Each structure stands twice: as C-alpha cells, then as structure tokens.
Amino acid sequence: MNYSSEQLLNGRWGIYEQGKLLATIGCYSSCQEILSLLAKRKSHNSNNPQGIPSLQADTDKLVEIADSNISKSQTAA
C-alpha cells in the first residue's frame, strides 16, 4: 500500500492510501510521524503477517498528543 500526505485547503494535512483520504491531521510533524509508522508497519507486515500491536499503540499515542496540542492551541487563542 502506498501512503502519502498533502496539505488540504483548510490547512490540515491529509493522509492518503493510494489516493483515498484516510485521515486528516492538524500538525505536519505528527502527520509525517504517522506516515513513518505506517511505512514501518508495511515493511514489518510483509515479514510478519500478524501485524505489530506496538506500532498501533504508538500511532494512537501520536494522534492523542496531536489532538491535545490542537486543543491547547485553540484554547490559548
């Protein structure tokens, strides 16, 4: 699967899989980190078809941090 990102008109970053929008992320660095984790999962899954629960946990944690940072910045504004 090919993952990519692109900035959307609303300023958020879209994560795409083969051209299909999967998610939007408010923070560019979080988006890039998620893409990196997806690439690691892809390469590991080709060697281990059962997946990697730790990568899922890492991805979930990054999304929580990004959402928390967005909430804090919106509250401060």
pLDDT of residue 66: 73
The Cβ of residue 16 has, within 10 Å, a number of other Cβ atoms equal to 15
d(CA 75, CA 77): 5
pLDDT of residue 23: 92
pLDDT of residue 20: 93
Round to the nearest angstrom and report the end-to-end CA distance of the chain.
38
Give mean pLDDT in consecutive 10-residue pieces for the chain, a chain of 77 residues.
Answer: 90 93 93 89 63 64 73 63
Order of strands across the sheet that contains 13-17 = 3-7, 13-17, 20-25
pLDDT of residue 76: 62
